[in-house]
Amino acid sequence: MTEAPSTPPVAVITGGARGIGRGCAAQLAADGYAIVIADVRGEAAEQTANEFISQGYRASSAAADVTDAAACSAMIAKAVEAFGRIDVLVNSAGISRPEPSLDVTPENWRRMIDIQLNGTFFCSQAAGRQLVAQGWGGVIINISSINAEAAFPMRTAYSCAKAGVTMMTKTLAIEWAEHGIRVNAVGPCHTETEMTVENIKRGAVSVEVLQKRIPLGRLAKVEDVANAVSFLCSDKASFITGHALYVDGGYLAFGYW
The pLDDT of residue 257 is: 60
**Contact present, 33 and 11 (Cβ < 8 Å):** yes
Residue 193: the pLDDT is 85
**Which one from 158, 246, 251, 256 is the annotated catalytic residue?**
158
Residue 112 is part of a domain; what is its CATH number?
Answer: 3.40.50.720
For residue 61, give the amino acid letter.
Answer: S
- Would you state the pLDDT for residue 26? 98
Is 211 contained in some domain? no
| pLDDT < 50: residue spans in the chain | none
Q: Is residue 16 part of a domain?
A: yes
Does residue 50 sit within a domain? yes
pLDDT at 137: 98
Q: Note the pLDDT of residue 218.
A: 92
pTM: 0.95
* Rounded Cα distance, 149 and 160, in Å: 10
Task: Say how many domains are in the chain.
Answer: 1
CB 72 within 8 A of CB 47: no
The verdict on whether 158 is a catalytic residue reads yes
Q: For residue 62, give its domain range.
A: 10-193+221-247
How far is it, in rounded angstroms, from Cα 74 to Cα 167? 26
